[in-house]
Amino acid sequence: MRDTKRLILGIATALLLTSNIAPISAAEKITLVTADDHDFGYVRTLFKHWIDADKDRCNTRYEVLIAEAIVKPVVGTGCYLSGGKWKSPYDGKVFTNPTGLDIDHMVPLAEAWRSGAWAWTAAQRMEFANDLDDSRTLLAVTASLNRSKSDKDVAQWLPPKAQCTYISNWIAVKSRFDLKVDSIEAEFLRTKIVSCNITNVVIQ
């Protein structure tokens, strides 16, 4: 039920962000374009996040927690979650209390801004910040790791585990939203797509 809801909400997100989305598949070539970062003007409040899009009292954070639980929680009044279990993909730690988890934007909001979101409308930024269409965009992860990542790009921070998966997901999200990569990020990715055997990506 919750996974279905996430899909429905994601379809709405996709419709609102059609101008920014480049659909991808494993077979097609993904091209990331190199450009200088837009290093000024970012304020976190420009990306309205953790909205309750379907008015069920579960905001985006809770929708992600419900969708990604390896043991589904009981959803109580005010979207209070109990009885669930989660496994952080960044370090493999298992949690039975969601307060130990943060919801990580795979591409941090500040990095999205630097990479092209500065030119988006407020509605497009809100939809990016609450995207439920692609499970790679928002992930429930160990809180301390999310905070150590902060707004760093992929060349500046990698999780302790599943690094090639992280790099692949980073590329997918950047491509989907037509976000650029800076020169250092581009050089890093050129190296990593070889070592991670990611064969369908071109960095311009």
Q: What is the pLDDT of residues 76-110, one digit of tens each?
A: 999 999 999 999 999 999 999 999 999 999 999 99
Residues 148-184: tens digit of each pLDDT: 999 999 999 999 999 999 999 999 999 999 999 999 9
Number of domains the chain is built from: 1
State pLDDT tens for residues 138-151: 999 999 999 999 99
Q: How confident is the model at residue 26 (pLDDT cuts 50, 70, 90)?
A: low
Rounded to two decimals, what is the model's pTM? 0.85
Can you list the positions of beta strands (E) in 41-153? 74-75, 81-82, 86-87, 94-95, 101-105, 138-142
Query: How confident is the model at residue 15, as a pLDDT?
Result: 36
State the Cα–Cα distance between residues 6 and 96, nearest whole angstrom: 22
| % of the chain beyond a pLDDT of 90 | 83
The range of the structural domain enclosing residue 197 comes to 2-203
Look over the chain and give the mean of its residue pLDDT values, rounded to a whole number.
89
pLDDT band at 27 (very low <50, low <70, confident <90, very high): low
Residue 8: burial class (beta carbons within 10 Å; 0-12, 13-18, 19+): middle
pLDDT at residue 8 is higher than 50 = no
